[in-house]
Amino acid sequence: MNKITYFGSESEINEAIIILKKHENLKNMKEGDARLLIQRLTDEHHLKASILINGNRVWSKARILNNLERMMKHGTLYNIENQKKPPFLSRYFYNFLHLECGGMTQYDIHGWIHKYPTIEHLKKFFKCNEFGKRVLDWIPTQHTDARAIVQEIETRLFPFESYMKSREDPTKVKRK
């Protein structure tokens, strides 16, 4: 049985509870399926409350991918023209990177940006995180929401490689 916990303002929590209550089967679903359903509902209804299932946060794919697009547009994780303005990397995406993807906190968001200032640095991180693994391989299989986000991030960061993978014939055996 899944345990669902909410964090946020009272109105954010109440809104999330109303939306999720319509899906009573959430508590009895497999965790991976429940995480994907909560992620979909969070994005469809623009829920702001943090929703945890069995103690682990369910991440909004839309929030992270929108932030990724903004950073890709600028090519950096920070505002080059005006460094007094907030960085392009949102706190939400930063939390995703260090809580799910195997990135050290680097003290705070600014330390993380100092270590990974550009999209090229971010690409290298997704190929090999701070524990020496591809980010997708680092995330536990039951965290289906995070894995779906990382797969989409990889598709956007590495469009050619993603295209080539989609064209591979699974019936062909690779020879050495």
Q: Is residue 36 part of a domain?
A: yes
Same domain, 66 and 152: yes
Same domain, 80 and 37: no
Bridge partners, residue 58, by sequence: 51
The pLDDT value given to residue 172: 62
Same domain, 38 and 67: no
Same domain, 65 and 136: yes
Same domain, 81 and 124: yes
Contact 145, 59 (CB under 8 A): yes
Same domain, 86 and 139: yes
Q: Concatenated DSSP letters for the chain? A: ---EEEES-HHHHHHHHHHHHT-GGGGGS-HHHHHHHHHHHHHHHT--SEEEETTEEEPPHHHHHHHHHHHHHHTBSS-SS-TTSPPSS-HHHHHHHHHHSS----SSHHHHHHHS-BHHHHHHHHHS-TTSS-HHHHS-TT-HHHHHHHHHHHHHH-HHHHHHHHH--TTSPP--
Same domain, 85 and 42: no
Q: Domain end: 21, 37, 58, which one? A: 58
In 3D, which of 43, 44, 48, 29 has the Cα closest to residue 4?
Answer: 29
- What are the tens digits of pLDDT across the range 19-67? 999 998 999 999 999 999 999 999 999 999 999 999 999 999 999 999 9
Same domain, 74 and 48: no
Q: Is residue 173 part of a domain?
A: no
- How many whole angstroms from its chain centre is CA 2? 21
CB atoms inside a 10 Å sphere around CB 18: 11
Q: Is residue 16 part of a domain?
A: yes
- What are the tens digits of pLDDT across the range 85-100? 899 999 999 999 999 9
Q: Is residue 167 part of a domain?
A: no
Most confident of 29-38, 107-116, 165-174: 29-38
Same domain, 104 and 20: no
Same domain, 120 and 139: yes
Residue with tokens 């005006």: 82
Q: Is residue 90 part of a domain?
A: yes
Same domain, 83 and 50: no
Please report, rounded to a whole number, the percentage of residues in the chain having pLDDT higher than 90: 80
Contact 105, 111 (CB under 8 A): yes
Same domain, 23 and 95: no
Contact 88, 77 (CB under 8 A): yes
The pLDDT value given to residue 80: 82
The residue range of the domain holding 11 is 4-58
Q: For residues 112 and 81, what is the distance between their CA atoms, to the nearest angstrom?
A: 19
Strands 50-53 and 56-58: antiparallel
Number of compact structural domains in the chain: 2
Q: What's the chain's average pLDDT? A: 92
